[in-house]
Homo-oligomer: A and B are copies of this chain.
Amino acid sequence: MPIYVVGHKIPDSDSICSAIALAHLKNQIGEPAVATRLGELSPETQYILDKFGFETPEYKTSYAGEKIFIVDHSEVGQAPDDVADATIVGIVDHHKLGDLTTSTPLECWIRPVGCSNTIIKQMYDFYGIEIPKNVAGVMLCAILSDTVIFKSPTCTPVDKAAVEDLARLAGVDDIVALGMEMFKVKSAVEGTPVRDLVKRDFKDFDMNGHKVGVGQLEVIDLAVFDSIKDDLQADIAALKEEGGRHSVLLLLTDIMREGSEMLVVSDSADLTERAYGKPTTDGKVWLEGVLSRKKQVIPSLQDAFK
């Protein structure tokens, strides 16, 4: 019976690449493992897998009676729906500690770094297992994605050191060029249904009893949103009603300008004022220097709900 390695719902590149990289490591140390996923690949992730020659991991939503290794989160809400009927044998993550619990001992590799793949790199080192060229490639891309090519405040020296090693192993000379190519793929929003864009990297949070959805789209130039911004605003308003949410926030992040425009629909008119000291005008607010949802958006928001 293999261990299924699976990331969060609405998987990002880190979730998919972590599953691939960790499943490979587990197989090398004599623990049969299979990478799976809980949702569709984003164009960025598809680009990464194509570039390094990987098949899309199996789409699998039911894990009852199986052993699973969770990557890139530790939240019940982000886990398979039947996680309570599975045995969690391990967790690799770099977020706050969530509400997953187990009834048996397990291994948790959780570190305050910029990307789960940085931790998986440490696991390879711990076990003394060499990282194949194509695995190193997807790990490298995941770190560049999560750290916004080192610009995110979540990026640590450990992430940079991992990227250096992985680039050598993957035979990548120009890290920044690879990162920019990836973000160009991410920036191509034309032709994508608005709802798909809103939900591409969308997470619901429980804020002191209120359901708050926060999405993020990272692009090289915010101008790509000019023609669809009204539609995005209308769609997050609809999403708020459909899900019985208190608020829905959509971060349009300009990775070159290093800041985010936040689109806001909320039951609290002064939410961004209380959380970030800046009022919402016409459903929008510019947050200078804000690149990281996890580090720069969620904590202040949580405080605002206390």
Tell me if A95 and B105 are in contact (CB < 8 A).
yes
Chain B residue with Cβ nearest A95: B105
User: Counting chain B CB atoms within 10 Å of each CB, which of A95, A96, A154, A299 scores highest?
Assistant: A96
A220 located at the interface, meaning its Cβ lies under 8 Å from any Cβ of chain B in the complex: no
Q: Which residues of the other chain, B, contact A98 by a CB distance below 8 angstroms?
A: 101
Tell me if A103 and B96 are in contact (CB < 8 A).
yes
- Given known pairs A107-B112, A108-B109, A111-B107, the reply for A101 and B102 (CB within 8 Å) is no
Q: Which residues of the other chain, B, contact A104 by a CB distance below 8 angstroms?
A: 96, 112, 299
Tell me if B109 and A102 are in contact (CB < 8 A).
no
A182 located at the interface, meaning its Cβ lies under 8 Å from any Cβ of chain B in the complex: no
- Given known pairs A110-B106, A110-B107, A111-B107, the reply for A99 and B96 (CB within 8 Å) is no
Q: Closest approach, in angstroms, between the C-beta of A24 and any C-beta of chain B?
A: 21
Number of this chain's copies in the assembly equals 2
Q: Which residues of the other chain, B, contact A88 by a CB distance below 8 angstroms?
A: 97
A67 located at the interface, meaning its Cβ lies under 8 Å from any Cβ of chain B in the complex: no
Give the distance in Å from the alpha carbon of A230 to the alpha carbon of B100 in the complex. 41
Tell me if A105 and B101 are in contact (CB < 8 A).
no
Tell me if B107 and A96 are in contact (CB < 8 A).
no
A94 located at the interface, meaning its Cβ lies under 8 Å from any Cβ of chain B in the complex: yes
Q: Which residues of the other chain, B, contact A299 by a CB distance below 8 angstroms?
A: 103-104
Chain A interface residue bracket vs B: 20 to 34
User: Counting chain B CB atoms within 10 Å of each CB, which of A100, A104, A294 scores highest?
Assistant: A104
Q: Closest approach, in angstroms, between the C-beta of A71 and any C-beta of chain B?
A: 14
Give the distance in Å from the alpha carbon of A98 to the alpha carbon of B108 in the complex. 12
A302 located at the interface, meaning its Cβ lies under 8 Å from any Cβ of chain B in the complex: yes
Q: Which residues of the other chain, B, contact A302 by a CB distance below 8 angstroms?
A: 103
Tell me if B107 and A97 are in contact (CB < 8 A).
no
Give the distance in Å from the alpha carbon of A109 to the alpha carbon of B126 in the complex. 13
Give the distance in Å from the alpha carbon of A248 to the alpha carbon of B144 in the complex. 53
Given contacts A96-B103, A107-B112, A126-B126, 20 further A-B contacts (CB under 8 A): A88-B97, A95-B105, A96-B101, A96-B102, A96-B104, A97-B100, A97-B101, A97-B102, A97-B106, A99-B99, A103-B299, A103-B302, A104-B112, A104-B299, A105-B111, A105-B112, A107-B110, A108-B109, A108-B110, A108-B111
Listed from nearest, the 8 A-B pairs whose CB atoms lie closest are A108-B110, A105-B112, A97-B102, A108-B108, A96-B102, A107-B111, A97-B101, A96-B104
